[in-house]
Amino acid sequence: MVFEFGGSLCYIKGMEIHTPNKKAVDLRCNPPALLNVPEASQYIGISQRFLRTIIKERKVPSVRIGSRVFLRLVDIDRWIESKLEGGVS
């Protein structure tokens, strides 16, 4: 996935964002606003198959562009927040 970051075109390889002038940046520390299914599953720490299942069940919003599926980072974080249980108030 190629996107603009800090005024430069960057790309994602695995869990790292590669920029022309800087070292690789960890995807979890500085993720782009829009993730594809492999990137989103790595970000959350679940399998792509499970993520595709919850997308199909419309439990997390997604965007389809042609045959590609993308998820907004804010929607992923909201879905994670909805799954929180217990803890200290």
CATH number at residue 83: 1.10.1660
pLDDT given at position 17: 54
**Crossing angle for the helix pair 48-56 and 37-44, to the nearest 10 degrees:** 110
Is residue 4 over pLDDT 60?
no
Which two three-digit tokens encode residue 36?
A: 């594809």
- Report residue 19's pLDDT band, with 50, 70 and 90 as the boundaries: low
Same domain, 17 and 53: no
Nearest to 26 by CA among 10, 14, 41, 37: 14
Same domain, 70 and 85: yes
Same domain, 65 and 78: yes
Q: Across the chain, where does the E strand assignment appear?
A: 2-5, 8-13, 16-18, 25-26, 34-36, 63-65, 68-72
Is residue 3 over pLDDT 70?
no
Same domain, 59 and 86: yes
pLDDT given at position 83: 87
Domain of residue 56, residue span: 33-89
Query: Taking all residues of the chain, what is their mean pLDDT, rounded to a whole number?
Result: 78
Same domain, 66 and 38: yes
Same domain, 44 and 78: yes
CA angle (82, 56, 28) in 5-degree steps: 50
Is residue 38 over pLDDT 80?
yes
pTM: 0.62
